[in-house]
Structure 1
Amino acid sequence: MAEKRAVEPRLAARILEPGPLVLVTSLYRAQHNVMTAGWLLPLGFDPPRIGVAIHPGRLTHEFISRSEAFALNVPTIDLLNAVHRCGIESGRDGDKFLTAGLTPTDAAEVEAPLVEECVAHIECGLVERLSLADHDLFVGEVLAVSALDELFSDRWLIDADSPLLHHIAADQYAGLGKTYTARLGEEEE
């Protein structure tokens, strides 16, 4: 195996990426907002909980803290430019739904809007906010989930043209291209 080099500790998150990206939507006092996020983690099955890390300087942080609800919307590669825009612009400067060309639509359980163009949605009620470092971890209890049948059954249906979007770094993104199946006890080919 080739020799490995030391990497700066601040790049540990990039080692764990590329993770799936989401568009986090929130609503406070009739103002909606959408923000790109890649720091996500499942936290439990029963009750179903998910965490998302958000910097305290973000408008989304303020809106979720005040409204105690949010939605995670799973975009596809077709939304690459909109996803990038939602990650680098601030909702304090204007309506990111409008500037990114995204359509807010009603959610089933939370007041935060969903992104109509996304292929899956997870609606969450805020359970806890933990200040752990320079980002806060928002823990949400999953209240409703919806997904496009052609892309999700009990798991993502990945093929060579999988449209799911993953963040690499800065303005670099990737899609998943192939799945692999482990077969224990069989001879390797």
Structure 2
Amino acid sequence: MDALHRPELLSGTIAAIEPFGVFVALDDGPAHPVFPGVGFISVAELSWSYFEEATEIVQVGQRVSCEFLQFDTWNLEARLSLKATQPDPFQAFADSTAVGQELQGKVTKLVPIGVFVRVTGDFIGLVHLQEFALTPLHPSDIPQVGDDVTVVVTDIDRQRRRLSFSLRRASRPQ
């Protein structure tokens, strides 16, 4: 395994799914006292998309090809990434979206600093409280989970994969 380097691809079969990640029986993997040839994909490395359970992405017995990230000398396993083998959909979204553009979305979560809104392509961004309205809001004016809203893109942070939106800059009434 010392000869492996990023971004080499390793193939194998999903052997076990745990809440913290997925174990892969590699076709050609490292020695391991209990699971020879084991690789591990953390939950964060499974998919670019949001998911609740790893079984939404992979199933036991499924064949996968993953990018080698590093060798974990403590656990004697190859750390792998399934999402690294797929293009980042956020970058494509950022390429086709501009600051100032209006988008339709749905409020998904209320937080003390604002609301999160899901827009086209399942991308979620924050509308900070200061971007709600020009005048102080009455509590009934705050969007609720499930409300359809029109937002204006105020920032696209490609590196951190974050979106910021404004409700007050939208031309359509909320």
TM interval, short-chain normalised:
under 0.3
Higher relative contact order (CA 8 A, sep 6+): 1
TM-score (norm 1): 0.26
TM-score by length of structure 2 reads: 0.27
Larger radius of gyration: 2
